[in-house]
Amino acid sequence: MTPEPPILQFGTGRFLQAHVDLFVSQAAERGDALGGITVVQSSGQPAAIARMQALARAEGYPVIVRGLEGGVPVERHETGRAVREALDARVHWPLLRARLRGPVQVIVSNTADQGWQLDASDGAHQLADEAAAPASFPAKLLVLLHERWRARPGAELTLLPCELVSRNGETLREIVATLARAWACPAAFVDWLQRQPVWANSLVDRIVSQALEPVGAMTEPYALWAIEQQPRLQPPCRHPAIVLTDDLATFERRKLFLLNLGHTLLAEAWMTQGHPVDMTVLQAMQTPVLRDLLEAAWDAEVLPVFDALGDGPGARAYVTELRDRLLNPFLAHRLADIAQNHAQKKARRLQPCIELAQSLVPALAQPRLVAAMGA
């Protein structure tokens, strides 16, 4: 009899296939994984249902890794084999509730952009044993954790949200706890909810450029999952791309001020200088006026901030890998896509770097960042 998977995952998209799921698959080959994964899809969209059905196939799914490593092109074909079952939350909700009474040790999520939004149709009536699945992800999680509290309150459980939200574990915990209070859940449960499960803050960093049909993904060689260390934390596996750290903020700053800021600077120049409408990041990096702008901003306006923080060597090592990522000849990352919600991205990516420089190195000039913010 096949054991029930100890990892429960909300989300079936290409990112998780080429990140968490592939890590667990690779670790399992070395005996370094907790076990298999149950994936859950909730959207009901035909493409998602087809992907869910394909994920459940015993032969696994393909992940094509293409890019540069040390400036040298590489291509590897991997097979993800960690998914043991794929469930539809609307159809298999009683089974999912039963899973939380059983062996689940880790819950991973990477929901859509609006995945943490609540739904007015959800309510406390859905805690009843025969109730249908709630609509929103936080409400689903609340019901499942209530099931865990009733059945196995002392059992260890780690939640690892992968959504790109700062302090994502703490943020999700507060959303679910606030919802529990709104549903007038018992005070003992609300206390357990905040105290017993481990809500881990983490940062994911990997560009997964393309989905394969019906399932699979194309991705870059670089991969990182930085998880903030805390007592009783249980990662789903041990893997070279998983870093347990006491300083998650350092990893967040590197990604925000080097990768994300760099993307937004390139998008700003693309928008204002009249470059081709379909220009990609690779093409921008091959265009001297754009490449020079980015390199100068990194060197003269951003890396001195990392020096002041004591992370100069780490940031420069990140930039070295980042150049390979931006020069990936297999990745068609359009600047038009990066430029969506451009003003908000500038406020999130550029302004904090400017403010940090004013605080730490007030004599530092940042003319390129300041000009982009003022444009």
Q: Read off the pLDDT of each residue in 129-136 and give the average, rounded to a whole number.
A: 96
Q: What are φ and ψ of residue 41, in 5° steps?
A: -115, 145
Q: What band does 129 get if pLDDT is binned at 50, 70 and 90?
A: very high
Cα Rg, the chain, nearest whole Å: 22
What is the per-residue pLDDT across 83-114, written as a single tens digit (0 to 9) for each? 999 999 999 999 999 999 999 999 999 997 67
What is the per-residue pLDDT across 275-303, written as a single tens digit (0 to 9) for each? 999 999 999 999 999 999 999 999 999 99
302 touches 43 (CB < 8 A): no
pLDDT at 1: 55
* Per-residue pLDDT at 166 exceeds 60: yes
* Per-residue pLDDT at 58 exceeds 80: no
Q: Structure pTM?
A: 0.93
Q: Cα separations (Å) of 264 from 159, 247, 268, 276, 330?
A: 31, 25, 6, 17, 21
- 249-374: CATH topology: N-(1-d-carboxylethyl)-l-norvaline Dehydrogenase; domain 2 (1.10.1040)
pLDDT at 45: 73
Other Cβ atoms within 10 Å of 117 Cβ, number: 13
d(CA 107, CA 161): 8
pLDDT at 81: 96
Q: What are φ and ψ of residue 361, in 5° steps?
A: -135, 75
- Helix and strand counts by DSSP (H, E) for the chain: 17, 13
226: helix, strand or coil: strand
Q: Taking all residues of the chain, what is their mean pLDDT, rounded to a whole number?
A: 95
In the chain, where the domains are located? 7-246, 249-374
CATH of domain 7-246: 3.40.50.720
